[in-house]
Amino acid sequence: MQSIVGLRASIPDDAFTATALGTERTGSGVVIRSDGLVLTIGYLVTEAETIWLSSADGRAIPGHVLAYDQETGFGLVQALGRLDLPALPLGDASSLRLEDPVIIAAGGGRHHAIKAVVVARQEFAGYWEYLLDSAIFTAPGPSFLGRHGAHRRGMAR
């Protein structure tokens, strides 16, 4: 769980997405490279003016948006200071099946994580012009983090 960080973004009042998504956005991200590269959901950081990443031990580090991929809905944020957190290896969500156990985690450590189970794989359309062909829907239940501790790509979708 050390690889999960909190993310807080401030968006200008006159930004195109401010009305629909707000000007203060909070969520989580996953450290995917040892140099502090963080994968998050893109709408958190689109048009962000300021980004702060927070570790489970309470440290806050500024970040900078590197990319937002409209097709996948993911965003990349680079920490502008040392996170000193391990990178979580990416896995492959295509192997997830109904009733597979997973962990849903947020920034803040183990007390911000729950055991869950996959209950559906289906299309998901968000009101913010967002479409996933095979979104993963979960419900509370038993869990594991995947073979060898690998995060399964797409769980955050």
Which residues neighbour 151 within 8 Å (Cβ) at sequence distance 6 or greater? 3, 30, 88, 89, 90, 91, 145
Q: Rounded mean pLDDT of 6-33?
A: 96
Going by pLDDT thresholds of 50, 70 and 90, the confidence category of residue 64 is: very high
Mind listing the pLDDT tens digit for each residue in 37-50? 999 999 999 999 99
pLDDT at 130 over 90: no
pLDDT in the model for residue 154: 45
Tell me the average pLDDT across 45-58.
95
* Average confidence (pLDDT) over 64-93: 92
Is a pLDDT exceeding 90 seen at residue 98?
Answer: yes
